[in-house]
């Protein structure tokens, strides 16, 4: 069920649950103004298309890409009544003026604000953005007051799991619950990737229609950042066998050793900063804000550095920097150098 709420409610921005396989369920159209927000432009466009389908009127769609068009053209479109149809949907993509309004004609900005406060009854206005971060505060407050938010990033694992199970059942597949959980974890609950990986798994298991945990582990790779995080943990725990297993997995994925070394240095630097902040009395929530990460990620950052000293973190960073220098200067083979570090 998609839950769309107006901005004016107590909790601020309203929310809509995400789509799964490009479907919106139960979203009532049409309010006057919408903001669709999400990191993925593809997903934002999917939400846009599904939202437009909910329009019960005869309508035209007028799309303005502000990377190529002027803000003045958008404002003119908003203030023009529909022609030959009873309703008009105006779509704004890449609205850079929301973040740097001072770079635009102040009269055009004021005309845009005026429209939001008094929209035309026969027009629905939809803005697509990737983030609210760094948005001009006065414009953000105006959007909060006048628009309904659809958050295309808001994904709930329960909904995703339910949808995966429904698809497997519909196609006649048996499954281990651990396999579903592992699929969601490896795909980081990203619906686009889940769709792709599930299709691959179903094709692979077409002969016996029985999806098992081992199938997911063999066919669905973790992303590079997750593997690097696991690799750092293995080094911290002195689990050499696990470290080499992860390293070999990365080699199968054709990841470059120099890139892995650079990411390891970044992770250990992050660990050093986190441990230093904890020593100064900063909380997990403080760390989440400083690094601009979600609280769940901050929890694992704090946990990872609890069993290692600052001195040992520094030694690992220095060792990796030395390896990186010696590889680039031709003194060491990069694959051998990284393996030696992991086996220390």
Burial (Cβ within 10 Å: 0-12, 13-18, ≥19) of residue 142: middle
Fold of 224-342: Zinc Finger, Delta Prime; domain 3 (1.20.272)
What fold, for 157-219? Helicase, Ruva Protein; domain 3 (1.10.8)
Residues whose CB falls within 8 Å of the CB of residue 65, separated by 6 or more in sequence, listed in order: 93, 94
Q: Is 26 in contact with 118 (CB distance < 8 Å)?
A: no
Residue 61 carries which DSSP code?
E
Specify the pLDDT at position 154: 62
The answer to whether the CB of 19 falls within 8 A of the CB of 154 is: no
What was the pLDDT predicted at 82?
A: 86
* Distance between CA atoms of residues 288 and 303, nearest Å: 13
pLDDT at 300: 81
Q: Which letter, b or e, does each residue of 65-85 get, where b requires 16 or more Cβ atoms within 10 Å of its Cβ?
A: ebeeeebeebbebbeeebeee
> Nearest Cα to 316, choosing from 275, 287, 283, 280?
275
pLDDT value at residue 344? 79
Q: Return the axis-axis angle of helices 106-117 and 71-78, rounded to nearest 10°.
A: 30
Based on the number of CB atoms within 10 Å of its own CB, is 12 exposed (0-12), middle (13-18) or buried (19 or more)? exposed
Q: Give the containing element (helix H, strand E) for 269.
A: helix 257-279
d(CA 92, CA 101): 15
What pLDDT, on a 0 to 100 scale, did the predictor assign at position 64? 93
Dihedral angle of Cα 332, 334, 339, 341, to the nearest 10 degrees: 60
pLDDT value of residue 21:
33
The Cα–Cα gap between 191 and 47 comes to 13
Helix/strand/coil for 65: strand
φ, ψ for residue 31, nearest 5 deg: -85, 175
Residues in the chain where the model's pLDDT stays below 70: 1-30, 56-57, 154-158, 189, 223
Q: Is 40 helix (H, G, I), strand (E, B) or coil?
A: coil
Whole-number Å distance between alpha carbons of 37 and 152:
6
The pLDDT value given to residue 155: 44
Fold of 33-151: Rossmann fold (3.40.50)
Strand partners, 60: 88
Q: Max CA-CA distance within the chain? A: 75
Distance CA(310)–CA(279), nearest Å, equals 10
pLDDT at 286: 87
Q: What is the pTM of this model?
A: 0.44
Secondary structure (3-state) at 127: strand
Q: How many CB atoms lie within 10 A of CB 17?
A: 20
Close Cβ partners of 111 (under 8 Å, ≥ 6 residues apart): 75, 79
Query: Where are the chain's structural domains?
Result: 33-151, 157-219, 224-342
């Amino acid at each position: 069920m998609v839950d769309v709420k107006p901005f004016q409610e107590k909790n601020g921005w309203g929310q809509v649950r995400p789509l799964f396989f490009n479907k919106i369920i139960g979203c009532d159209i049409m309010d006057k103004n919408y903001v669709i927000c999400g990191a993925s432009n593809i997903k934002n466009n999917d939400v846009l298309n599904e939202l437009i389908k909910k329009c019960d009127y005869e309508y035209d769609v007028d799309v303005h890409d502000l990377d190529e068009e002027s803000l003045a053209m958008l404002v003119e479109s908003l203030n023009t009544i529909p022609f030959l149809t009873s309703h008009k949907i105006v779509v704004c993509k890449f609205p850079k003026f929301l973040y740097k309004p001072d770079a635009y004609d102040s009269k055009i900005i004021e005309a845009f604000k005026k429209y939001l406060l008094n929209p035309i009854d026969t027009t629905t206005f939809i803005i697509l953005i990737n983030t609210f971060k760094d948005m001009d505060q006065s414009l953000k407050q105006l959007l909060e007051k006048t628009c309904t938010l659809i958050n295309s990033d808001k994904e709930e694992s329960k909904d995703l799991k339910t949808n995966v199970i429904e698809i497997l059942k519909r196609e006649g597949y048996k499954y281990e619950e651990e396999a579903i959980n592992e699929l969601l974890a490896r795909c980081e609950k990203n619906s686009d990737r889940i769709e792709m990986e599930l299709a691959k798994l179903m094709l692979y298991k077409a002969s016996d229609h029985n999806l098992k945990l081992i199938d997911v582990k063999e066919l669905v790779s973790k992303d590079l950042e997750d593997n690097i995080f696991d690799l750092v943990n293995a080094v911290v725990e002195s689990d050499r066998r696990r470290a080499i297993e992860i390293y070999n997995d990365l080699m199968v994925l054709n990841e470059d050793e120099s890139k892995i070394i650079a990411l390891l240095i970044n992770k250990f630097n992050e660990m050093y900063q986190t441990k230093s902040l904890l020593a100064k009395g900063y909380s997990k929530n403080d760390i989440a804000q400083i690094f601009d990460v979600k609280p769940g990620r901050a929890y694992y950052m704090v946990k990872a550095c609890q069993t290692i000293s600052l001195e040992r973190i520094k030694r690992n960073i220095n060792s990796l920097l030395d390896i990186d220098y010696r590889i680039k200067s031709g003194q060491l083979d990069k694959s051998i150098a990284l393996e030696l570090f992991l086996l220390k």
